[in-house]
Structure 1
Amino acid sequence: MARRGYVQLANGFYLNRKVRRLRRTMPSAISAFVVMLSYCGDNLTDGYVDDDTAEFVLDITVQELDALRQVGLIESVDGGYVIHDYLEHNRSRQQVMAKRKRERERYSAESLPAESAQTAGRIETESGQTPEHQNTRTPKKEKEEYSSSFSKESVKDFGESRECGETDKTLAMEYPNLDLESAWLAFVQHHYGETRSVNDWTRLWKGWCQRRANMSGIPPSKRHVHTWKCTHVLEKLGRDEETAQADEKACELADKLNKKEKP
């Protein structure tokens, strides 16, 4: 079931030269574009639609995608497409989630009985934490001591792991202008309900942020030098940190990627 909300379509949409061109060459591409807009608004993807979703969920043809790309209504990115200037006309996932949080907090405050409110205030005064911020989970340090790179865990558990924290530090240094909080919310939404090993989550999280930075035109703080064990090479070869090896195939691919991206 679709969530309550909407996306914006400018009043001048019918006058847009890109739209007018599509009306003559491929009218069905216009409806495909509107369907993509609706999907992005419902799933809070910040304008991103992956290849499989476009083809198998939204039933958009390759010809329609090519037509949209040629006129500039969508842009090709690694693993899918992004709607051009989506965030200039629509709220980002971060903005929507922040608004929902404010509404929940306001509703809770209005519906909380007077006695409960006083109790909550007393707990906050005595402990320095409100009840919703008290730790009811296993302490993080204790959890980390028993975590394994090979055990399966949810994306939420990965977010609380030491490996995720270390990865965040690396990403913050590599892409200082990338909104990691917004990227993480979209990542959790995309992988909700999945269970993977820590190594798999780490690889996916790195790749997600790198693609998001590329989509937003955010360059890395310094040019990345590909190696036989970097994320880009491992993903293209279908390997991970455990199966990485400095064989001829990996070294040749790293060299090829470095030459391709040489300024």
Structure 2
Amino acid sequence: MLVQTEKSPPEGTNNYIKCLPTEILLMILEIFRPTSHRKSEYKSVLALASVCQVWREAVLNTPSFWTYIRLHPPNPPREADIPHEFEIDTPPVFNSSYPAQLILQLERTKSAPLEIRWRVKGEPHPQLRDIIHSLAPLHRWRSLQLAFVQSRQVYIECGSGEEVYMGIEPELPGQIIGTFENLREMSLVGDGKHLSHLCNLVETTALKLETLLLGERTASLTRKELSNTCRRVSRFLAPTHT
């Protein structure tokens, strides 16, 4: 004789997944937890949250599913590339409402350590510094991938009518306040002409930093400013010049 417990599904149904305790369900879903900033991993999280209400609540309320943060607007995909199954009320990573999506994702991380990827190109979003200070303070950053990408603006040369490309140097959004007390990994790529304040914060507060990766142009500008940090980290990579 089958004894029906409080968690047992009604007779004639096979919906056993809804009867799993949340802890067990999260152990199963853990294999889909993002481990990088790839869009495909974020889309997998959105897909999990679309399965049913139980899964949705479990995923949305678990900070570790949301801690890979991009501090830059994503490139919008072609309309044909947007799957209909991701059209839930959570703004996806490619939503044009970037600040709202960023705020929502950061709120879901609660107080968990953050993995930050920041691709600085042109002028930063005007709300970005306030969002960082209020929802992503520097002491929560566990890793930082910072890349400066020079954008190009087209001018028409007077007289000849030829197109002339002018490089625009990217900038960080003013001076960011805080300490990198829990930063473990950092990579800097690009020109980095506006990195003095950031380098000073790393040099004086990132005492737990273990890995430092510098691009060729960034290395030439930051080796002196990060001299103590370069000696302190256990893994330091920068281009060598012969």
For normalisation by structure 1, the TM-score amounts to 0.23
TM-score (norm 2): 0.24
Query: Where is the strand percentage greater, Structure 1 or Structure 2?
Result: 2
